[in-house]
């Protein structure tokens, strides 16, 4: 299904979008990737949504990526005898390992690993940062805190610890079980929560065993600090601005978002900007102007994808939310300023033959009357490198591997077409021309750029660039072999 935009849209499925009709409507409205949130829903419910997506994919002959988002460890306080208490600014409040119900002076925090990492002066954020505590004294089983920002604290509210790297694995027992379930189900991407260090990503990759690509969620200050190392071992990145905005001052998030997006583009790895993009559309059929501007900013930055969470999973207007994102993307990408911004942020990266080939393909396409860049890709690397260039013309990714086509549904500008395995370059040119015509990118009077690698079907061998006519008789005439 051809999209008239380059940025991809990720839609989270949930109670408001779990039936065939709604999921199909979401895809037809513009959703390229469906997110299955492992924090909500039982395995049989997630399997049912997965099955529906694959049915729609087969019916529409349109590769769809499925992203399973692992919950990650949840750090929460215990319970209170009265259900909740009011913490007053300046008061003392104790967190400890005592399982007795809490009161206005203390509560259980059943995570010894937090106490092991705490130091005086560290901050603890409760209930998405609404309550802020500062550690005055701590030990192996307690933390005596001053209430810096008060408020109502109630049963099992979440706790964030922004100032220290916690000795907590990114994968809980639940996450390991969910990871195996998702891989057996056949998802294309695994989103890893609570990433603090590259070792967290390596553990998930070992467990996945190549069955899914690994996407690291950047939601903790520690992950921002060692981002380059995390990016190096990840297949993709999600800028998860919700938790990031809790653990860091909110004014820090926009520059971090811009910096991370640029680094991902330079590394030719897809990046999703996520959280609260059209939050008001959970209850309203139209977004706020600020939300539209937020979506537009991510597109101007060159993000590969923008994501809907509760808007499509539990909101009253899931299809309208996708449609709004699609409309904003089309408008932004038709703006001449968009192309100026993209070109200004492009980095020259020519470290290999493949790098040189895709740079040349983009430059040729932009200086002559070329309608599309058609790249043959087995592992997806050539398509990723081509997308890194952010060319003005469409990118058609041709692959014989369904898994590659699905994963590339997350990548900026790449429109994947399935093709048989090839052994001759002339057949590659013919197939590329047919795909360009069939998808409506070109007609017989047009020309395309074709990139491929010889020998065929071997990852990492991109070494040929050809400017080819779309008319088959001309292809035969100019390349009789």
Active site residue 263: no
Give domain status of residue 346, yes or no: no
Domain boundary among 109, 129, 160: 160
Give domain status of residue 2, yes or no: no
* Domain of residue 115, CATH code: 2.40.33.10
Please determine, for residue 480, whether its predicted confidence score (pLDDT) is greater than 70.
no
In a shared domain, residues 173 and 152: no
Give domain status of residue 329, yes or no: yes
In a shared domain, residues 319 and 242: yes
In a shared domain, residues 248 and 111: no
Domain boundary among 300, 334, 368: 334
In a shared domain, residues 273 and 216: yes
In a shared domain, residues 314 and 436: no
| Contact between residue 203 and residue 193 where contact means Cβ atoms under 8 Å apart | no
Write a three-state SS string for the chain. CCCCCCCEEEEEECCCCCCHHHHHHHHHHCCCEEEEECCCCCHHHHHHHHHHHHHHHHHHCCCCEEEEECCCCCCECCCECCCEEEECCCCEEEEECCCCCECCCEEECCCHHHHHHCCCCCEEEECCCCEEEEEEEEECCEEEEEEEECEEEECCCEEECCCCCCCCCCCCHHHHHHHHHHHHHCCCEEEECCCCCHHHHHHHHHHHCCCCEEEEEECCHHHHHCHHHHHHHCCEEEEEHHHHHHHCCHHHHHHHHHHHHHHHHHCCCCEEEECCCCHHHHCCCCCCHHHHHHHHHHHHCCCCEEEECHHHHCCCCHHHHHHHHHHHHHHHHCCHHHHHHHHHCCCCCCCCHHHHHHHHHHHHHHHCCEEEEEEECCCCHHHHHHHHCCCCCCEEEEECCHHHHHHHHHCCCEEEEECCCCCCHHHHHHHHHHHHHHCCCCCCCCEEEEEEECCCCCCCCEEEEEEEECCHHHHHHHCCC
Please determine, for residue 479, whether its predicted confidence score (pLDDT) is greater than 70.
no
In a shared domain, residues 147 and 269: no
What whole-number distance in Å separates Cα of residue 388 and Cα of residue 234?
Answer: 16
Sign of the Cα pseudo-torsion (22, 23, 25, 26, in order): positive
In a shared domain, residues 101 and 241: no
pLDDT given at position 347: 79
Give domain status of residue 77, yes or no: no
What is the rounded average pLDDT for all residues in the chain?
94
What whole-number distance in Å separates Cα of residue 476 and Cα of residue 417?
Answer: 22
In a shared domain, residues 194 and 241: yes
Give domain status of residue 362, yes or no: yes
Give domain status of residue 440, yes or no: yes
Active site residue 76: yes
What are 128-163's pLDDT values in tens digits? 889 999 999 999 999 999 999 999 999 999 999 998
Please determine, for residue 326, whether its predicted confidence score (pLDDT) is greater than 60.
yes
What are 194-233's pLDDT values in tens digits? 999 999 999 999 999 999 999 999 999 999 999 999 999 9
**Among candidate residues 213, 149, 217, 163, the one with its CA nearest the CA of residue 186:** 213
pTM of this prediction? 0.93
In a shared domain, residues 65 and 99: no
Region of poorest pLDDT, from 11-20, 21-30, 166-175, 417-426: 417-426
pLDDT given at position 346: 85
* Domain of residue 194, CATH code: 3.20.20.60
Active site residue 35: yes
* Domain of residue 366, CATH code: 3.40.1380.20
pLDDT given at position 462: 86
In a shared domain, residues 57 and 183: yes
In a shared domain, residues 139 and 197: no
Catalytic residue from among 5, 8, 12, 35:
35
The mean per-residue pLDDT over the stretch 348-365 comes to 88
Question: Could you tell me if residue 359 is left (phi over 0), alpha (psi between -120 and 50 degrees) or otherwise beta?
Answer: alpha
Number of domains in the chain: 3
Catalytic residue from among 5, 8, 205, 217:
217
Catalytic residue from among 12, 275, 324, 382:
275
Give domain status of residue 79, yes or no: no
Q: What is the domain extent for residue 380?
A: 353-478
In a shared domain, residues 156 and 210: no
Give domain status of residue 347, yes or no: no
Catalytic residue from among 3, 76, 130, 174:
76
Domain boundary among 118, 138, 160: 160
What are 360-387's pLDDT values in tens digits? 999 999 899 999 999 999 999 999 999 9
């Amino acid at each position: 299904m051809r999209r008239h935009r380059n940025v991809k849209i990720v839609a989270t499925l949930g109670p408001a979008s779990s039936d065939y009709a709604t999921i199909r409507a979401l895809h037809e409205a513009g959703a390229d990737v469906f997110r299955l949130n492992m924090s909500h829903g039982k395995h049989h419910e997630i399997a049912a949504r997965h099955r529906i997506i694959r049915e729609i994919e087969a019916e529409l002959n349109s590769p769809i990526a499925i992203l399973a988002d692992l919950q990650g460890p949840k750090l929460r306080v215990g319970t209170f005898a009265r259900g909740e208490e009011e913490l007053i600014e300046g008061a003392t409040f104790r967190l400890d390992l005592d399982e007795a119900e809490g009161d206005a002076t203390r509560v259980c925090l059943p995570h010894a690993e937090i106490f092991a990492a705490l130091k005086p002066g560290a901050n603890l954020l409760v209930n998405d940062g609404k309550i802020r505590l500062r550690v005055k004294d701590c030990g192996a089983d307690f933390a005596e805190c001053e209430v810096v920002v008060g408020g109502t604290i109630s049963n099992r509210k979440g706790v964030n610890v922004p100032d220290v790297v916690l000795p907590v694995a990114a994968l809980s027992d639940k996450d390991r079980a969910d990871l195996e379930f998702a891989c057996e189900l056949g998802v294309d991407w695994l989103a890893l929560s609570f990433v603090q260090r590259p070792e967290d990503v390596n553990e998930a990759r070992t467990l996945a065993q190549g069955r899914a690509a690994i996407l690291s969620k950047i939601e903790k200050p520690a992950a921002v600090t060692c981002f380059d190392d995390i990016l190096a071992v990840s297949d993709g990145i999600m800028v998860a601005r919700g938790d990031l905005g809790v653990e860091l001052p909110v004014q820090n998030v926009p520059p971090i978002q811009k910096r991370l997006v640029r680094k991902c583009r330079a590394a030719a790895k897809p990046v999703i900007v996520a959280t609260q993009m059209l939050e008001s559309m959970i209850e309203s059929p139209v977004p706020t102007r600020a939300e539209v501007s937020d979506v537009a900013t991510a597109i101007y930055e060159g993000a590969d994808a923008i994501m809907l969470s509760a808007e499509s999973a539990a909101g009253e207007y899931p299809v309208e939310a996708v449609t709004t994102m699609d409309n904003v993307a089309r408008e932004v990408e038709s703006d001449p300023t968009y192309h100026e911004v993209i070109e200004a942020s492009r980095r020259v990266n020519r470290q290999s033959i493949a790098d040189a080939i895709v740079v040349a393909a983009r430059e040729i396409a932009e200086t002559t009357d070329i309608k599309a860049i058609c790249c043959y890709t087995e592992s997806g690397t050539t398509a990723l490198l081509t997308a890194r260039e952010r060319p003005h013309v469409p990118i058609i990714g041709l692959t014989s591997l369904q898994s590659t086509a699905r994963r590339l549904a997350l990548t900026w500008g790449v429109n994947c077409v399935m093709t048989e395995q090839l052994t001759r370059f002339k057949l590659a040119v013919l197939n590329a021309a047919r795909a360009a015509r069939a998808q409506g990118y070109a007609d017989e009077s047009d020309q395309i750029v074709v990139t491929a690698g010889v020998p065929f079907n071997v990852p990492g061998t991109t070494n040929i660039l050809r400017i080819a006519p779309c008319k088959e008789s001309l292809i035969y005439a100019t390349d009789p072999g």
